A and B are shown apart, each in its own frame.
Chain A
């Protein structure tokens, strides 16, 4: 049911964009809403990150899963239990670029129908890393429609991505990888009962939204092509703050663009915030220095204490008189 709601929402949004533009609202779907969506994305994201930046983190709470640095003859696991900033940078880089913690994903299997064991399951990691990197490369490729003249690295990425020169226009490897990985991630969400049980509309919606964006993009490039030069003129109008709406753009493109606008606007209010969030996870980005240095909570209530030294100072004569041992004579 939750899945059907998400499918319905994405389909309806695509149709709104497409039919709206077909009905003559190109200016709304091509100029006003993209500007609004980018504004919502930037302001919403900045507000979220600044809110997180104001959360105090008085103590070191990294999740550790390896030997802490201790005696010289015990080998420390610097990535699993980072003792200093360089190790943290290494840990974070592998996390952000390589999704290292997803490698710990396990599956439960029964051997011979009797023995329960846990095995490594790399499928989630593979699906996630292919999807994310393909999306980044697809974003870089789209710069050819947002920049004039097109910088060399964009053309270079396009060349590599279309290396096999299959089809006309050339089918990009990342288009296929992106859609394939998304399809797998959706399949996984539906096929594993535990994952399906905890899946909400907020989990299905971004999946279907990305599938629809990728699918409509693929369709626009390979099936029903539109006048790409006019599309670029529209986009450059936006970046030059001199918007124009060329007449010869297919409504399908406005459906694609509207879904992208929805994605940008939805971003700061959704699970997609893991993008800035992964950088700010205190269980990942802190060095484990809980023993190396003393961390004092800055807003501790000032408790009145009476130390043993003070107690002995007060009662030393009486203690000596009673024959009790004292630390200072």
Chain B
């Protein structure tokens, strides 16, 4: 019947659109795995542990910004008990010297735009 053909075609089109991530995966040569962290120095010197930093670094940087810019507090008491100066350029970029290798790969993978470099000078590689 005429209507049935149309309905089946419509259903097929809907399922095809729905399966877009699957057929994109079939045709894609990009590695689906998460990019490995590229570090130049031992992570034990970081302000917090790696698990925390991977998931929450944006929160940390945001809190630092508020603390420094709005409240004038310049030192961050880390969970380990040590104190760090709250400074992206001074503290973070002291070890993470290459934004292309350290920041960009994961951010490109997750399609998250980095807004740091619209004010700060990016470490080399950008």
Contacts and interface: CB of A to CB of B under 8 A. Distances in A.
Contacts of A276: 11, 14
Interface stretch (A50-58, A98-106, A205-213): A50-58
18 contacts: A42-B15, A50-B7, A52-B7, A143-B20, A146-B21, A147-B21, A148-B25, A148-B31, A148-B109, A151-B24, A168-B58, A168-B115, A225-B56, A225-B59, A226-B55, A228-B112, A229-B34, A229-B106
A236 B30 CA distance: 11
Interface residue tally of chain B, by bracket?
Answer: 35 or more
B32 A236 contact: yes
A229 B107 CA distance: 8
Contact of A232 (B34, B55, B58): B34
Interface of A: 42, 45-46, 49-50, 52-54, 57, 143-151, 154-155, 158, 165, 168-169, 225-230, 232-233, 235-237, 239-240, 242, 244, 246, 248, 250, 276, 279-280
B54 A227 contact: yes
Nearest to A56: B1
A250 B51 CA distance: 11
B14 to A, nearest CB: 8
A53 B28 contact: no
A233 B98 CA distance: 24
B56 to A, nearest CB: 6
B110 A144 contact: yes
B110 A229 contact: yes
A147 B34 contact: no
A250 B58 CA distance: 16
B106 A53 contact: no
Nearest to A150: B111
A155 B111 contact: yes
